[in-house]
Each structure stands twice: as structure tokens, then as C-alpha cells.
Amino acid sequence: MQKRIFTIGLILALVAACGVQLTVVSAVRSGGKAQPTRFKVRIENIASPEGQTASDGTKWPFAISPGAWVLDSRSNPLFRPGKKALPNSLEAQAEDGNPAMLVQSLEQSHHNSTLHGIFNTPVGATTPGPVTPGGAYEFTISATPGMRLSFTMMFGQSNDLFYAPDSAIAFFDAKGQPVSGDITSRLILWDAGTEVNQEPGIGPDQAPRQKAPNTGTSESKKIAPVKDGFTYPKTSEVLRVTITPDAAQ
């Protein structure tokens, strides 16, 4: 097949998930109070290395961009479905795979700096970059009962699509015990509504082929699950996302 090397605009210069089966493990307690539990979040690209096929027969590799994560008690602190994306935050993540502005927006709202961050370096790599088939991102965070996880990452072969959970994911069950399991079914492929969509994998204004970030035809629509008539791979066939507390590793 025709191989394409996936690069997301200038990302290397810009930055240096119901139906879920969960296993409950024991929480660490001291004096009757739950202590922070460390969790490993792993985002794997399990897509076929043979690539996806466009309508014209072109083969293209499925890839995901660096992303942002945040711990918060709110259901969706990174964006609001049904509202328009902010140009100085989500737009850069969805169009160019650059999560830095999302994190900056959290900092400007005085969000605790220990409760958000960026994942941008594939496992085994030494520099930031996208995750292609067979690769993965991993990051470790500490959480207490009441905290929930949100994260975003660009569908690389698109104009402004991104993956994120339907709502923030709880790390603890109703009894305050940490949970472990596959949360892939919670992911949705969202359309940021900031740039006109082209067929995935071959659009000239998509990150791997655009001449510079933010070069496609702009639009101003509300954030919603993608529904544009094009064909996209089933999420469970290209991604696997798991959370694992220290005690279960």
C-alpha cells in the first residue's frame, strides 16, 4: 500500500470513556480516610498496520495525536457538547493535534496544575509525536474518590475531529473503591465544528497534508458526535483505552 508518514502540523514544535466491565480493587486507607491512588491510563492504537481505505482506494494509516487530560469533579471540563468550540483551546487540539492551548485555558481558570497535563510521547519514544498502529500513550495520575477523568486527542486524519469520553470517567465506585478496566466504549468521535470536514485520510486540509496549521475552510458549528456522511473506523477496532490502579498492576 501507499504508505504515508503521519505528522500533525507543527505539533513537535508546539508541544515539547457505559458498557464498561470494571474490576474493584482495595483502596489504600489511613485513619479511615482514602489516600490518593495512582492510576495508569493507557491509550493504544490497535488499528491494522495495513491501513484504512478511502473511497478512491487510497490507503491511509489511522493515528491519534498528543492530547490533554484533566481530573475534576465536573462531567466535562474540557469542552461542552452542544456549544461552540473556543478558538484558543479546543480548536487547536481538534484541527492540529496541539493540546497546549487546552491546558493553558485550564491554567488561566486557575485549575490546580497537578490535576491536568499533556500526554504527547509514545511509549518507547524519546520525543513527542503521534501514535500510529501498534503504539500507545501512557500517563500516570493520582486521584481520590470524587475525581473523574476527561481527556482529548485528535483523530489525526481529519479536519477537526477528536476522541473524548461521553462524560468524565469516575476512578472510584460508589463505595470509594478504585476501579480497573477497559473504558474504550466510553469514547466518542466528536466534531469540533470549526473546520469543514473532508473525507478522512485524503483531505488536502487535514493535518498530515495541510501546508500549515489552521488552513482549512472555517465553519462555526456546535460540538457534536461526527455525522457528515463519511465513513470512519469503529472506535473499538482502532483504539483500546484502559485504566489500572497501582494495586492491580
Q: What is the pLDDT of residues 87-146, one digit of tens each?
A: 778 999 999 999 999 999 888 887 887 899 999 999 999 999 999 999 999 999 999 999
**Residue whose C-alpha cell reads 484541527 in the numeric block:** 95
Report how far residue 175's alpha carbon sits from residue 178's, in angstroms, rounded to the nearest whole number: 9
202 within 8 A of 58, measured Cβ to Cβ: yes
pTM, full prediction: 0.85
C-alpha cell at 28: 489504600
CA 90 to chain centre: 12
Torsion of CA 146, 138, 118, 239, to 10 degrees: -90
The DSSP bridge pattern shows strands 179-182 and 136-143 to be unpaired
**In this predicted model, what pLDDT tens digit does every residue of 213-234 receive, in sequence order?**
778 899 999 999 999 999 999 9
239 within 8 A of 187, measured Cβ to Cβ: yes
Residue 26 or residue 201, greater confidence: 201
CATH number 1.10.1200.10 is the correct assignment for the domain at 35-248: no
